[in-house]
Amino acid sequence: MITSTATSAPHGRADTSLPTEVPPPPTAPTAATTNFHDPAAVARDWMTQWCPFDYREPRNNHVERSTVFATPAAKTADLAHGTTVEAYRTVVMQKLSRRCDQVTGAITPNAEHSTELVAVLTARRTDLATDAPVGADTVAVVRSMLLQPDGRWLVDVPAPLPR
C-alpha cells in the first residue's frame, strides 16, 4: 500500500526477520521536535511518519502525517501514487497494518544545486494482519531534499538514485 517510490532491498542487506516485538506506531509529528536545519534529521523524521500505516486510520493518513516534513509537491506526488479506495477497503477488511523501524538515511549532495540534496532512506517494515506480524522486509526510498527560503530543509518528490 506504500507508493511506487518504495522498493524492497535485495535479500541479506538488512534484518528482515520477524521482530520479536512489533514496532510501535509513530507518534504524532511536531515541528518542535525536528531540527529542520539538518536535512538528514528531517528525512529520517519524514520516513518515520511516511512508512507505516494502520487500517484504523483514514486512507493515505501516512502521507498526511508526514507532510509536516514535506513540500506540497511531495504530498501531491505521494497522494497521486497512494492507496486507492479499492486497496484501502482490502486493508480495512483484512485488518492490515505496517510498522517501520531501523530507519537509516544518507544525504548525498547534488553537485548542480546547493539548495537541493538527495536522501537515500531505508527502514525495516513489518507487515501486520490483525496486529500480528506476518512478514518483514526492507524498504528503500530516494527523495529530493529542498532548502526553503526560511532555512528549513523539506523532503520533496522522489529522486533518481545518486551516481
CATH assignment at residue 111: 3.10.450.230
Q: What domain count does the chain have?
A: 1
pLDDT at 5: 39
Q: What is the mean pLDDT of residues 107-136?
A: 88
pLDDT classification of 14: cutoffs 50, 70, 90? low
* Residue 69 counted as domain residue: yes
* Residue 55 counted as domain residue: yes
Q: How many CB atoms lie within 10 A of CB 126?
A: 24
Q: Please name every residue paired with 141 in a beta bridge, in sequence order, or none if there are none.
A: 121
pLDDT at 114: 79
Of the ranges 6-20, 58-72, 81-95, 108-122, which one carries the lowest mean pLDDT score?
6-20
* Residue 89 counted as domain residue: yes
Give CA–CA dist 139/130, Å, rounded: 22
What does the mean pLDDT of the chain come to? 87
Q: What is the mean pLDDT of residues 86-113?
A: 89
Amino acid at the residue 113: H
* Residue 113 counted as domain residue: yes
* Residue 29 counted as domain residue: no
* Residue 5 counted as domain residue: no
* Residue 15 counted as domain residue: no
Give CA–CA dist 63/79, Å, rounded: 7
Q: Are 117 and 128 spatial neighbours (Cβ–Cβ below 8 Å)?
A: no
- Domain hosting 93: range is 36-158
* Residue 6 counted as domain residue: no
